[in-house]
């Protein structure tokens, strides 16, 4: 089978804010590029040669975008292809409070503000553990992976084609630094585990983007192992990097953009997941045969024919035909009683058996 390699698509969604850092974050005219410029410290400028500006090219920069526009841009094509048999993954990444969960789930209070995951499954979301810290009062303290399995069946001539696919909808926990979140105690321990799993995820992405790497460390964490089929495999994959547009979060924004840029270098090989259901085909043919027998019975009745059977010949009927054939060859009878095609075939079979014995 010829496989077509496809690049992971990466989008950036900027959270609306009244205090947008216009002097530090700029968008290209085609809404596909974003530039980050850090202010230089005049006192340290002579001593500091660190990079202060970066430019990133994405598949789309979504700023002041409605939930409907987001779905049309990010998810609609992927879902359409999943319905015909291609696996798909949509993953939201970014710091806490940047809008990941809003992008994926939306606002439950307003229908038009619902996100990518349908409102009907927003209850698998209510079970997530939340806790308050400095960046977000309702921070998701876990990664959320929701998988939709799709099975479709199509009649293809006499066969039944089965299409099986799945859509992974992934809302990752926040990627912020611990010093920014102000977490302590149990929350600090959770943040450590979260950041560690995200670090392993970045290592996997870096390995996938390197064509010279043979080993991909999927087994380093539960998160990367679960995402094994979604990254670099048989799957259409889309990343939405959620960022904040405020100056205070520009370092996190830069980190998220770097991650999205690395994701763009990852390629996948999506294939059509289709099989032909032989058992289903047999059942469909048996149903068709039963219907045709009913049609023949109606036809015989309208033609005033005697009651006829179209079932396979019984042992008694076969013995009767055998007896008639022998009597016909001896001249005891002038003709053999035949009323259907099955009997004709059995008569020829009996003649062949007799000829082989001669």
State mean pLDDT over 91-112.
83
Q: Are residues 306 and 349 in the same domain?
A: no
Q: How far apart are CA 9 and CA 7, in angstroms?
A: 6
Distance, CA of 63 to CA of 340 (rounded, Å): 75
**Residue 219 lies inside a defined structural domain of this protein:** yes
Distance, CA of 132 to CA of 137 (rounded, Å): 4
pLDDT at 120: 33
Over the chain, what is the mean pLDDT?
A: 80
Instruction: State the pLDDT at residue 232.
Output: 65
Q: Write down the pTM of the prediction.
A: 0.67
257: helix, coil or strand?
helix
Q: Are strands 25-27 and 33-37 parallel, antiparallel or unpaired?
A: antiparallel
In this structure, what DSSP letter does residue 113 have?
Answer: G
User: Does one domain contain both 131 and 220?
Assistant: yes
pLDDT score at 162: 81
For residue range 209-245, what is the model confidence (pLDDT) as tens digits? Answer: 887 888 888 888 888 888 887 776 788 999 999 998 8
Which domain, by its residues, includes 319? 313-358
205, 253: one domain: yes
Among residues 84, 32, 94, which one has the least CA distance to residue 244? 94
What is the predicted pLDDT for the residue at 59?
Answer: 95
Domain co-membership, 285 together with 326: no
Give the pLDDT mean for 40-60: 74
**Would residue 14 count as lying in a domain?**
yes
Of 44-48, 120-124, 131-135, 186-190, the range with the highest mean pLDDT is 186-190
Q: Does 224 share its domain with 302?
A: no
173/212 same-domain check: yes
Contacts of 161 (CB under 8 A, 6+ apart): 153, 154, 155, 274, 275, 276, 277
Residue 107 · residue 251 · CB < 8 Å: no
Same-domain check for residues 266 and 282: no
At residue 39, the 3 state secondary structure works out as coil
**222 and 320 within one domain:** no
Are 322 and 183 in a shared domain? no
Q: How many domains does the chain have?
A: 3
Query: Does residue 1 fall inside a structural domain?
Result: no
Lowest mean pLDDT among 40-54, 271-285, 339-353: 40-54
pLDDT band at 2 (very low <50, low <70, confident <90, very high): low
Number of H helices, E strands in the chain: 11, 14
239 and 76 in contact (C-beta within 8 Å)?
no
Do 171 and 296 share a domain, yes or no?
A: no
């Amino acid at each position: 089978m010829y496989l077509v390699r496809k690049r992971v698509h990466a989008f950036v969604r900027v959270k609306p804010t009244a205090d947008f850092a216009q002097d530090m974050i700029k968008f290209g005219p085609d809404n596909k590029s974003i530039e980050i410029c850090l202010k230089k410290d005049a006192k340290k400028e002579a001593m500091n040669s660190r990079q202060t500006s970066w430019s990133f090219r994405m598949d789309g920069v979504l700023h002041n975008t409605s939930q409907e526009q987001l779905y049309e841009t990010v998810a609609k094509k992927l879902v359409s292809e999943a319905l015909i048999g291609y696996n798909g993954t949509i993953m939201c990444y970014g710091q806490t409070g940047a809008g990941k969960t809003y992008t994926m789930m939306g606002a439950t209070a307003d229908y038009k503000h619902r996100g990518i995951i349908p409102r009907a499954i927003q209850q698998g979301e209510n079970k997530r553990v939340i806790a308050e810290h400095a960046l977000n009062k309702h921070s998701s303290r876990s990664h959320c992976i929701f998988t939709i399995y799709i099975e479709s069946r199509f009649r293809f001539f006499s066969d039944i084609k089965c299409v099986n696919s799945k859509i992974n909808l992934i809302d990752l926990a926040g990627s912020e630094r611990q010093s920014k979140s102000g977490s302590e105690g149990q929350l600090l321990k959770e943040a450590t585990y979260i950041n560690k799993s995200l670090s392993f995820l970045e290592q996997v992405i870096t390995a996938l983007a390197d064509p010279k790497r043979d080993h991909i460390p999927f087994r380093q964490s539960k998160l990367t192992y679960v995402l094994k089929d979604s990254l670099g495999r048989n799957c259409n994959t889309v990343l939405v990097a959620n960022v904040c547009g405020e100056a205070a979060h520009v370092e996190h924004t830069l980190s998220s953009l770097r991650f999205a840029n690395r994701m763009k270098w990852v390629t996948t090989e999506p294939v059509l997941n289709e099989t032909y259901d032989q058992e289903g085909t047999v059942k469909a043919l048996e149903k068709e045969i039963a219907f045709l027998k009913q049609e023949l019975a109606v036809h015989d009745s309208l033609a005033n024919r005697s009651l006829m059977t179209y079932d396979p010949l019984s042992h008694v009927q076969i013995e009767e035909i055998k007896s008639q054939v022998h009597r016909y060859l001896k001249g005891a009878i002038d003709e053999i009683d035949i009323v259907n095609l099955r009997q004709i075939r059995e008569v020829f079979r009996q003649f062949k058996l007799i000829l082989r014995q001669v």
